[in-house]
Structure 1
Amino acid sequence: MANSSPSSVNKHISETSSRCRTECVATAHNFEVTEYSLLEGMGIDKFVSSSTFSVGGYDWNIRIYPDGWNWKEEDKGAYMSVFLRICSKPTTGVKVKYTFSLLEKDGKVSCLYSETHTFQSGFWGCPKFIEKSKLKELLSRNDDCFTLRCVLTVMKEPRTEDVSTVIVQVPQSNLHTHFVNMLKDGEGMDVTFSVGGQQFSAHRCVLAARSLVFKAELFGQMKETAMKHIKIDDMDPSVFEALLHFIYTDSLPSDSDLDRNVELQHLLVAADRYGLDQLKAMCEGKLCQKIDVQTVATTLALAEQHHAAQHKDACLRHLSSQEVLRAVKETDGFKHLTASCPWIMMDILEKVAPPSGA
């Protein structure tokens, strides 16, 4: 008889799998008791009840027995009892895990009890939850009140399910590629922008979906709503082109001009103008990496005027050295900063280290 190795025998065996899944539902109920001392002496097996609350498709409430429940003669009146009661009538047993916590005014837990039980009906809990002597001390420092917190977890019936062993490889999202093609192909474009003598076409719906400013211009009460050709002033064509690229792709174009400080500043201004917070943050991040003596003053003015908080903080940190600040004061950018944002000087003074010996 020919011998077969284990590897050759198992090589072509098909496999199936299954899984046992157990689910649960958890809820917490807080039962506040005030002027508790008035409840003492109501008698053995006498209780006060919380309102009814639902967990896992069943109704529950909490019972507190101030003078205890069903005590032996020697334990009568020595403990406060606490029970959980199922108000519904389940057709099968309901397995639950419940925890009782006695909370003081400051949220401190003074007593804790936890148990797992399968309820068919009736109530279940802790006859000796807390001694009366300890409870009296707690009440004296909590204005005669406490909160009983019950965290109840209802466990559903376990179920077995088949598990598919077929692994389907899901391709990476190519949504951005389709939008790039929309921008390049020009199909369906219904609005044209004139920027610095150049024409840029786009889709109204895409612009409106990405920018609330564009939405107001193209679908609101503004005059641009009915226009197919819109002129944009005070913006360089390359900046608007980068803006459109971001709107369609969620990324910056791979353009070397955007590595330059001035172009990034202009793009940040455009992003702020059209409410594109993500693009604005991307520009801030790149500008923060380019801060030096010659650019810090102009970029700080830009950050202040366009509420670029992270960029502003980076500029102020750069100016925190007195040596750097002296060099920056000699630049034209600093003159522009003091003229356009004179109040920023107070922020700079707070950052600059005091002179030695001061």
Structure 2
Amino acid sequence: MECAVTVRMEPQVSKTKVFPGIKVPPSDIKQQLANLMDKERADVMFSVSGEMFAAHKIVLVMRSPVFKAQLCRPLSQTGKQPIVIEDMQTDVFRAFLYFIYTDLMKVHGDLEENCERKNCQMIHHLLVAADRYDVARLKLLCESILCKNLDVKNVATTLALADQHQCDSLKDACIEFMSCLSTMDDLVATQGYQDLAKTSPSILADAKERIAKLHKC
């Protein structure tokens, strides 16, 4: 009887060599999308207080259900004449359009993490625009920034805004902030509080009722 024996030898490796990695640059798709915000291949034009803005129908339709309904309706005249945007400042629409393209908030050159109190009025306007065109993430970003920057001077105005645009979490934050004040005198003296008392007394009545309940807890 003959037997054949095969001996397999493991390859000898003298040492492990580390090969240089391949550096992958960060994604620049947001910048690329921002670069589209010119008249190159634009098929939609907006007129805001006489200033013209170029845009792309496919981006608008993808980002806003309101734009989708407006631009995809039968016999739409989009592209033949500009869409006139009423009741919105040019700076607000520019920031709104920038968010539509990039998913980034940019107010007066500052990105969202740098939007401090100096820009809170602009954030108010952006929230209104986001609600108007049903851009949910922008609306929540605006709510978050306003919530972080509540103070005695702006809380009444912010409460009115939150109530008008169904921002329940922001409204709750305003009422909780008011409930934590040691005295209401400074708040009552603000123009925002006085305007709210004249135009929407029911909002104040509801806030006072909820504050009273919080104090009992």
Q: Same fold (TM over 0.5)?
A: yes
Query: C-alpha offsets along residues 295-328 of structure 1, whole Å, 9 cap, x if unaligned?
Result: 1111100000001122111111111046343321
Gap change, CA 1:267 and 1:224, over 3 Å in 2: farther
Report what 1:192 is aligned to.
Answer: 45
Partner Cα separation in structure 1 for residue 17 and residue 104 of structure 2: 48
Report what 2:210 is aligned to.
Answer: 350
Report what 1:286 is aligned to.
Answer: 145
C-alpha RMSD over aligned residues: 2.8
Gap change, CA 1:354 and 1:179, over 3 Å in 2: closer
Tell me which protein shows more helix as a share of its residues: 2
Gap change, CA 1:238 and 1:224, over 3 Å in 2: farther
Report what 1:235 is aligned to.
Answer: 88
Report what 1:333 is aligned to.
Answer: 192
Alignment counterpart, residue 27 of structure 2, candidates 151, 160, 173:
173
Do 1:318 and 1:324's aligned partners in 2 also have CA atoms closer than 8 Å? no
Alignment counterpart, residue 297 of structure 1, candidates 156, 163, 169:
156
Amino acid at match of 2:148: Q
Amino acid at match of 2:40: E
Map 1:1-358 onto structure 2 (within 5 A). 9-11=14-16, 171-184=25-38, 186-221=39-74, 225=78, 227-253=80-106, 255=108, 259=116, 260-321=119-180, 323-344=182-203, 345-352=205-212, 354=215
In our comparison, the structure showing a higher alpha carbon Rg is 1
Gap change, CA 1:292 and 1:11, over 3 Å in 2: closer
Secondary structure of 1:200's aligned partner: strand
Partner Cα separation in structure 2 for residue 322 and residue 255 of structure 1: 32
Gap change, CA 1:194 and 1:329, over 3 Å in 2: same
User: So what's the TM-score if we normalise by structure 2?
Assistant: 0.79
Give the drift of 1:240: 0.1
Count, aligned residues? 196
Partner Cα separation in structure 2 for residue 351 and residue 222 of structure 1: 52
Partner Cα separation in structure 2 for residue 191 and residue 291 of structure 1: 38
The runs of 5 or more residues in structure 1 that have no matched partner are 1-7, 14-166
Secondary structure of 2:70's aligned partner: helix
Query: C-alpha offsets along residues 337-356 of structure 1, whole Å, 9 cap, x if unaligned?
Result: 2333333222332224559x
Do 1:261 and 1:287's aligned partners in 2 also have CA atoms closer than 8 Å? yes
Secondary structure of 1:284's aligned partner: helix
Give the drift of 1:292: 1.1
Do 1:219 and 1:225's aligned partners in 2 also have CA atoms closer than 8 Å? no
Query: C-alpha offsets along residues 258-292 of structure 1, whole Å, 9 cap, x if unaligned?
Result: 54221110111001101011001111111112211
Partner Cα separation in structure 1 for residue 51 and residue 200 of structure 2: 34
Gap change, CA 1:11 and 1:226, over 3 Å in 2: closer
User: So what's the TM-score if we normalise by structure 1?
Assistant: 0.49
